[in-house]
Amino acid sequence: MSLDDKAQKPHDRLAEALAEDMEAVNRLIRERMASENAPRIPEVTAHLIEAGGKRLRPMLTLAAANLCGYTGRYHVHLAATVEFIHTATLLHDDVVDESQQRRGRPTANLLWDNKSSVLCGDYLFARSFQLMTETGNMRVLEILSNASATISEGEVLQLTAARDLATTEEIYLKVVRGKTAALFSAATEVGAVIAGASDEQVRALYTYGDALGVAFQIVDDYLDYAGAADVIGKNTGDDFRERKLTLPVIKAVALADAEERAFWSRTIEKGQQEVGDLEHAMKLMAHHGALAATRADALAWAERARDALAILPQQPLREMLEELALYVVARIR
Amino acid sequence: MSLDDKAQKPHDRLAEALAEDMEAVNRLIRERMASENAPRIPEVTAHLIEAGGKRLRPMLTLAAANLCGYTGRYHVHLAATVEFIHTATLLHDDVVDESQQRRGRPTANLLWDNKSSVLCGDYLFARSFQLMTETGNMRVLEILSNASATISEGEVLQLTAARDLATTEEIYLKVVRGKTAALFSAATEVGAVIAGASDEQVRALYTYGDALGVAFQIVDDYLDYAGAADVIGKNTGDDFRERKLTLPVIKAVALADAEERAFWSRTIEKGQQEVGDLEHAMKLMAHHGALAATRADALAWAERARDALAILPQQPLREMLEELALYVVARIR
């Protein structure tokens, strides 16, 4: 291994280690996103799928399966399944959020219309269920159908929890599990299950995916307040302007006195924001240590992810997954 | 059996014969549409599910399973699965069509918003996959995941085929299979499969569901031109005004001369409709026998549905299904 390899991001090292499998996943994805009956479908799905994305979730499935000594071919099906579920939720999310851009390109709902995004998302969901059914593994089907339910539950919960100051850290965590962690943990868990791993290994890889997903999302929410614009590619304070109850705000609200509560109620609940409000919100967060506590939470989740892997075989893939957990929080170290 | 029973609609007779099972299906539906994490979900889904609907699809599953001698309990799961898939597609359809009313009540997208309809539909899809997975029957999973893919394919195809005079009867049939027949045929087929029926019986019940669904949809499209407003609860000519390529129009276009083609192109493709156009369209259809041919097609599909049952045990349930096939076209006899 050269120094150059060492300098690679863990994500790129994973991609390199799993290159052959990922090639098979990409082939399967292209094959299954087609539709001879409705040519509009591959147009819409290709627009999003070919735009790249990091293919992080399918790589997690492949890595988990390989790490548990799997020698079959169904991890490829499961990796494609996970990517299809992910893409379907993105198509629907962009309709729900009325988004204009995704992965640096105009969204499908903008290029075609909401209808196409809703229906092509449904198609990818159905295709994902076909793919997972082909594995013939009931436990895998349970895990992935449960994850799908958790994802949509989390999204609906986010809809209703938005702008509600009563949102607790517990509710936040449920939303985060739905938005992000449920598919991460399902991705790693099914990799272990299809490999016939022990219950202990399955649990370890579930915990890894779950904690990785939670850390990932908390970092995102932290950086929206703490990050410089050029690091995260969006402006600081977007979540504040969109009145989202993310972890830094939840922590600050929990410690707010009456006057501060009135401020949060005006800006987040009622949405009456004035010049200087974002700066005042940052000051309140600093005062209560809300950003520091959020950062500490993210680091703890990343640590939990890394530690979960301790019982797994000490192999390069395990190392890469460990590094990935630390890399997720590297931006906030 | 009293004379009164004889006078009942076949749908009501089925409901009566399957009352106990349907009670179990309704219990399971109520149980599984709940979400402790996201209370918005049962509100939205209950609005639609409790509004009634005919529960025709789950009854088809129950009837098929009972007719094939099934004595287990998983037909209840499958019937609930089928109703969840149906409800999910209705929620998404109403977003896609920007509908205002469904089953005599304002639609969910109107009462809440498009977001809730999209995400609650996704939730019901996921729940349906959980339910079918619980049966542990791989063949059932294949059938239902294939049906889900066909449904969304059909919907996307309808989106792109709309207003396109090149739409053939073959494309129309694919759309109809997606919109209606795919779930009908899956409903009856999985009932037979879960009962461990012979391949011949499974095929027969598949064919029944498929032909019933196609007949059902053709009748709808026929009545939109031929029916009196009070029979179908919508105005004659809605499809014309919405420029839909339904079977009567496709048949008339296929036989059109140059001048007639220009008329269809102006009214359907370009949407430039004037007073008297609907009447002229009806005249062209009459001239080419398009309505009569559409009606004949519907009757033939209903016949095909009824005939498919010939190899099944001669029981009251079979009779009711046969009557149902004829009842679907009774409105146009």
Say if A276 is an interface residue toward chain B (CB within 8 Å): no
Residue A266 above 50 pLDDT? yes
Nearest to A119 among B35, B119, B156 (CB): B156
Amino acid in position B135: T
Q: How close B203 gets to chain A, by Cα (Å)?
A: 21
pLDDT band at B234 (very low <50, low <70, confident <90, very high): low
pLDDT band at A4 (very low <50, low <70, confident <90, very high): very low
Evaluate whether B183 touches B197 at the Cβ level (below 8 Å): no
Establish if B79 belongs to a structural domain.
yes
DSSP lists the bridge partners of residue B101 as: B106
pLDDT in tens, B299-310: 999 999 999 999
Establish if B161 belongs to a structural domain.
yes
Lowest mean pLDDT, pick from A192-196, B1-5, B277-281, B315-319: B1-5
Is there a contact between B114 and A116 if contact means CB atoms under 8 Å apart? no
pLDDT in tens, A60-113: 999 999 999 999 999 999 999 999 999 999 889 888 777 777 667 777 777 777
Q: Which residue, A241, A145, A188, A163, is CA-closest to A57?
A: A188
Gap between the Cα atoms of A318 and A310, Å rounded: 9
Establish if B14 belongs to a structural domain.
yes
Lowest mean pLDDT, pick from A20-29, A88-97, A101-110, A177-186: A101-110
Is there a contact between A156 and B96 if contact means CB atoms under 8 Å apart? no
Establish if B112 belongs to a structural domain.
yes
Question: In the predicted model, what is the mean pLDDT of residues B112-131?
Answer: 90
Lowest mean pLDDT, pick from A93-97, A236-240, A299-303: A93-97
Q: State the pLDDT at residue B3.
A: 37
Q: Output DSSP code: residue B200.
A: H
Evaluate whether B260 touches B187 at the Cβ level (below 8 Å): no
Lowest mean pLDDT, pick from A89-93, B24-28, B33-37: B33-37
B122 contacts in chain A (CB < 8 Å): 89, 92, 121, 125, 148, 151-152, 155
Q: How close A286 gets to chain B, by Cα (Å)?
A: 31
Q: How close A282 gets to chain B, by Cα (Å)?
A: 30
Gap between the Cα atoms of B103 and A285, Å rounded: 50
pLDDT in tens, A124-154: 999 999 999 999 999 999 999 999 999 999 8
Is there a contact between A157 and B38 if contact means CB atoms under 8 Å apart? yes
Say if B95 is an interface residue toward chain A (CB within 8 Å): yes
Gap between the Cα atoms of A317 and A19, Å rounded: 13
Q: Which domain holds residue B156?
A: 7-332
Establish if B2 belongs to a structural domain.
no
pLDDT band at B107 (very low <50, low <70, confident <90, very high): confident
Gap between the Cα atoms of B266 and B259, Å rounded: 11
Residue B229 above 60 pLDDT? no
pLDDT band at B160 (very low <50, low <70, confident <90, very high): confident
The encoded tokens of residue B112 equal 């809440």
Say if B86 is an interface residue toward chain A (CB within 8 Å): no
Residue B109 above 70 pLDDT? yes
Gap between the Cα atoms of A99 and A91, Å rounded: 10
Comparing alpha-carbon positions, the chain B residue that sits nearest to A122 is: B152
Establish if B41 belongs to a structural domain.
yes
Maximum C-alpha span of chain A: 61
Q: Which residue, B183, B36, B25, is CA-closest to B123?
A: B36
Say if B154 is an interface residue toward chain A (CB within 8 Å): yes
Question: In the predicted model, what is the mean pLDDT of residues A198-209?
Answer: 98
Instruction: Give the list of residues 6+ apart from residue B205 with CB closer than 8 angstroms, or none.
Output: B64, B67, B68, B188, B189, B191, B192, B197, B308, B309, B312
pLDDT band at B83 (very low <50, low <70, confident <90, very high): very high
Give the mean pLDDT of chain B: 89
Residue B5 above 50 pLDDT? no
CA separation, residue A206 to residues A86, B109, B188 (Å):
17, 36, 38
Is there a contact between B40 and A151 if contact means CB atoms under 8 Å apart? no
Number of domain units in chain A: 1
CATH number, domain at B114?
Answer: 1.10.600.10
pLDDT in tens, B192-210: 999 999 999 999 999 999 9
Gap between the Cα atoms of B271 and B268, Å rounded: 5
Q: State the pLDDT at residue A228.
A: 54
Gap between the Cα atoms of B300 and B1, Å rounded: 30
